[in-house]
Amino acid sequence: MKVELIDYTSNAVEVIGKAAGQCYGLVGNNSRRVSCALKSGHDSILRFAYATFNISEISLACSHQLVRIAHAGILQMSFRHVEADFHVIVPDAIKMDNESFTRFHILNEYSEEFYKAARRNGIKKEDARYGLLVGTETSLSITGNFQMWKHFLKLRTDSAAQWEIRAVALNIQSQLATVAPEIFLDNL
């Protein structure tokens, strides 16, 4: 899995603080204004800053969790326009169980054979892809405002979250805490 922060509001506290000034008065320190607003639960001020990530080497199963994020802008690799490369993400739980891993490997080979045969028989990529496993590797770009990211991190860094989306979320959290510590460091 690769998670790359490709763009963000570099002066987020200043931008957010100035916007929050509409609610809390324009006089004062932006950093303090942001801190006070967040402590009081007024997180809608976070809509005025954003971050964009490229995420690759994740499964379709993981991407399905990402594309469900409300208010996110997402562009995902198209299996209609890009030929499948048949890299599959295998959960550690499957790798550690010999019988499950053997069956998974057979299933993956069959899926790949099906796809290639369907393409040779003239079936369009968008129809042949129905035979791919949800473990098939994909990539996407995702952008959203800081309020969206805070909500996403609250849900997906939880220990009960599915392992792959949790790993993505922890990576995102770490990078956001680096570029906007006043806003995201409390999540760590």
One pLDDT digit (tens) per residue for the chain, 188 residues: 999 999 999 999 999 999 999 887 777 888 999 998 899 999 999 999 999 999 999 999 999 999 999 899 999 998 877 776 779 999 999 999 999 999 999 999 999 999 999 999 999 999 999 999 999 999 999 999 999 999 999 999 999 999 999 999 999 999 999 999 999 987 55
Three-state DSSP at 139 gives strand
pTM equals: 0.91
Are 51 and 8 in contact by the 8 Å Cβ rule? The answer is: yes
Nearest Cα residue to 150 out of 24, 6, 18, 37:
37
DSSP string of 48-93, one letter each residue: G-EEEEEEEEEEHHHHHHHTT-TT-EEEE--TTTS-----B---HH
Non-local CB neighbours of 155 within 8 Å, separated by 6+ positions? 161
Strand pairing partners for 138?
Answer: 58
